[in-house]
Amino acid sequence: MNNKIAFIATGYIKRYDGVSVYTENLLKEFLEIEREKNKDIYIGKSVSLLLKSRIGFENSNNIRFIEVADNNFFSKMLDLHIKLFKNGKYSLVFTTNFMPLILISNVVKVIHDLSPEISPHLYSRFFRFYHSSLLKSAKFFDSAIAYISNSTKSDLEKFYNINEKNKKLLYLPNGVPFKVQNYQRPDKEVLKKYDLREISFLVVGRINRAKGFDRILEFCTYFDSYLEKQSKYKSAVLRVAGKQTAETIKIFKNSNLVNIEVVFCGYLDDKALNELYTKSQFCFFLSRNEGYGLPLVEALWFRSIPILSDIEIFNEIVGDDYPKFSDKIGYKVTVNKFIIQILKDKVYLKSIIDKLELILEKEKNGYKNAAENLVNYIRNTDC
């Protein structure tokens, strides 16, 4: 067998989503640790230079970047397969997200989440079929399945009966991205923002029900009335940094906020987004499901307090004792109480900040741990 590795990074895209963040961070750590094997990095032609610049790539005799046509999904898949076959058999074909790889052996794919199974009503029938087909194929034909969190691992067993008894599973965790850690954290003086009379909220991500935006709006409608009845807080703003979707109009159709200004920021570069995190007192994460939740750890780095839904991954990251909210207890009175206690009770604020610091410290080395686990897998399976 040819003793070389294919690292497929074609999930990396210009508009930079969670898979792109995961790809560049894991690849950067992987290349720093694994220096012996020959490696072919498959990357979309339009983002090849971008990826190289972001990971600080330097020319190496045993690393080759192979550009793949990325005009659309079908041209990308066709060109990728042609080049994989052309370059011979690999001891490992590793891809950072689930994609169809036909007649390719020694494959390991990373599964990020199983949202189509958890919230099927939010996805088309075709997409659910496509997603399910990929999982079933991987169960029987791939060498291993990698997962980014224990929550995702649990969902693999729940929905597909995939576990360590019947499949090789590889833990490749997410973590705090280098694009965040490269920015100096705001000084603790920034916590004086919790003394202000203006209240600032932030939402990062797609504006849809999967991300819990209807839940956020439910709370905001209640909080809007609360502001009407008190005098301490003179204004509130909800900033939304994310892609608007067809659902956005439906969600906002009957909204009538008077005391909360809603600002749609659209797509932001890192600097602008980080400034919003720093400025915001609270960030909403009321998703119905997440594989990990990168904006959560970004918010922690820039000292913004998260408001979390009670889902498995958030329990995994922040622990059971951090406050979370659910359909069962509601989002209006309970979130309102949490926010006001933060703003009024200095002792409570400090206890929350101390918890968040411990959580951030735990998550900082996630990608390094993932790269080490991948390298150990390669060595132990004689790739």
The pLDDT tens digits for 52-64 are 998 888 777 889 9
pLDDT value at 2 more than 80: no
Beta bridge partners of 236: 199, 260
The pLDDT tens digits for 362-374 are 999 999 999 999 9
Q: Residue 36: pLDDT band by 50, 70, 90 thresholds?
A: confident
**How are beta strands 92-95 and 107-111 bridged, if at all?**
parallel
Give the Cα separation of 171 and 148 in Å (integer).
Answer: 6
Cα–Cα separations (whole angstroms), residue 176 to 267, 280, 295, 321, 364: 20, 19, 9, 22, 5
Contact 152, 128 (CB under 8 A): no
Q: According to DSSP H, which parts of the chain are helical?
A: 18-33, 48-55, 73-86, 115-118, 125-141, 150-160, 178-181, 213-228, 246-252, 270-279, 294-301, 312-318, 333-344, 346-363, 366-380
Helix, strand, coil percent content, the chain, rounded in steps of 5: 45, 15, 35
Place of tokens 């932001």: 268
The pLDDT tens digits for 300-329 are 999 999 999 999 899 999 998 999 999 999
Q: 97-126: buried (b, 16+ CB within 10 Å) or exposed (e) per residue?
A: bbbebeebebbbbbbbbbbbbbeeebbeee
| Mean of pLDDT values over 260-287 | 90
Backbone angles phi, psi at 171, to 5 degrees: -85, 110
| Dihedral sign of CA atoms 44, 48, 50, 51 in order | positive
DSSP-derived 3-state class of residue 134: helix
Q: Residue 337: what pLDDT?
A: 95
Task: Name the burial class of residue 382, with classes exposed (0-12), middle (13-18) and buried (19+) by CB atoms within 10 angstroms of its CB.
Answer: exposed
pLDDT value at 252 more than 80: no
| pLDDT, greater one: 247 or 321 | 321
**How are beta strands 38-44 and 4-8 bridged, if at all?**
parallel
**What Rg value do the Cα atoms of the chain yield, rounded?**
22
Give Cβ neighbours of residue 374 (< 8 Å, ≥ 6 apart).
26, 30, 34, 94, 146, 170, 172
Give Cβ neighbours of residue 379 (< 8 Å, ≥ 6 apart).
none
pLDDT value at 110 more than 70: yes
Contact 158, 113 (CB under 8 A): no
What is the DSSP code (8-state) at residue 121? G
Instruction: Sketch out the chain's domains with CATH numbers.
Output: 4-175+365-380 (3.40.50.2000), 180-363 (3.40.50.2000)
Q: Residue 241: what pLDDT?
A: 87
Q: Residue 31: what pLDDT?
A: 93
Q: Residue 229: what pLDDT?
A: 86
- In this structure, of 65-69, 207-211, 230-234, the range with the lowest mean pLDDT score is 207-211
CA proximity to 135, closest of 112, 119, 151: 112
Output the six-digit token pair for 125: 């029938």
| Percentage of the residues of the chain whose pLDDT score is greater than 90 | 65
| Percentage of the residues of the chain whose pLDDT score is greater than 70 | 97
Contact 315, 292 (CB under 8 A): no
End-to-end CA distance of the chain: 9
Give the Cα separation of 153 and 161 in Å (integer).
Answer: 10
150-160 vs 125-141: helix axis angle to the nearest 10? Answer: 100
| Sheet with 282-285: strands ordered across | 260-264, 235-241, 198-204, 282-285, 305-309, 324-325
Place of tokens 């600002």: 263
